[in-house]
């Protein structure tokens, strides 16, 4: 499943959890098999096991990060899909700032605006907007208007207004969402 598509968080929970278990099992298997067949080379077996534990630990951290956030609701996805028209959208993202990580159901990019909607009450929209503004400004998007909503009706109202004005696909919108994908978990 591609990053930015609906269901990405759920899929990554399964994928990273399975990978973490598999790599951990391989590390344990290699360690005990190595000790059994090469008892004189305990150091080499230990080093090989540690080398395999590194990717296992990385996938475990990824699994923990994804487990902290619920998947976006299907209801929100259906409503946005019905309202967005041809506007490009980026679903199920987790944006990590230096202080905190935030789950966002959807981002849309159109007409010089990046709008986000989150149904999670713990999201500090002002801090998230500032973080996104800093990143996009550093990447030469200085005039981009960024707004993250927690109120679904206000988000849908703004989405409808943008959808009514949206005429054709713009490569800038795709580039903005691509950058968003690069900074999201």
Q: Which domain holds residue 28?
A: 8-67
Q: How many domains does the chain have?
A: 2
Mean pLDDT computed over 154-178: 86
Q: Is the per-residue pLDDT at 167 higher than 80? A: no
Burial profile 130-158: b = 16 or more Cβ within 10 angstroms, e = fewer: ebbbebbeeeebeebebebbeebeebbeb
pLDDT for 21 equals: 95
Q: Mean pLDDT of all residues in the chain?
A: 91
Residue 126, Cβ neighbours under 10 Å: how many?
9
Residues 82 and 173 in one domain: yes
pLDDT in tens, 29-40: 999 998 888 888
56 with 145, same domain: the answer is: no
Domain boundary among 17, 36, 67: 67
């Amino acid at each position: 499943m591609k990053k930015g598509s609906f269901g990405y968080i759920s899929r990554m929970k399964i994928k990273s959890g399975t990978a973490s278990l598999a790599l951990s099992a391989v590390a344990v298997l290699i360690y005990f098999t190595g000790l059994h067949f090469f008892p004189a080379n305990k150091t080499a077996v230990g080093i090989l096991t540690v080398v395999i534990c590194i990717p296992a630990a990385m996938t475990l951290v990824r699994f923990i990060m994804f487990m902290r956030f619920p998947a976006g609701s299907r209801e929100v996805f259906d409503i946005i899909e019905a309202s967005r028209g041809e506007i490009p959208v980026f679903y199920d993202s987790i944006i990590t700032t230096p202080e905190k990580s935030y789950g966002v159901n959807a981002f849309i990019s159109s007409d010089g605006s990046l709008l986000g909607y989150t149904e999670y009450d713990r999201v500090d929209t002002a801090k998230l907007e500032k973080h996104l503004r800093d990143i996009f400004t550093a990447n030469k998007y200085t005039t981009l208007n960024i707004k993250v909503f927690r109120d679904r009706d206000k988000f849908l109202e703004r989405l409808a207004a943008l959808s009514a004005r949206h005429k054709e696909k713009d490569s800038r919108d795709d580039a903005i969402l691509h950058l968003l994908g690069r900074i999201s978990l």
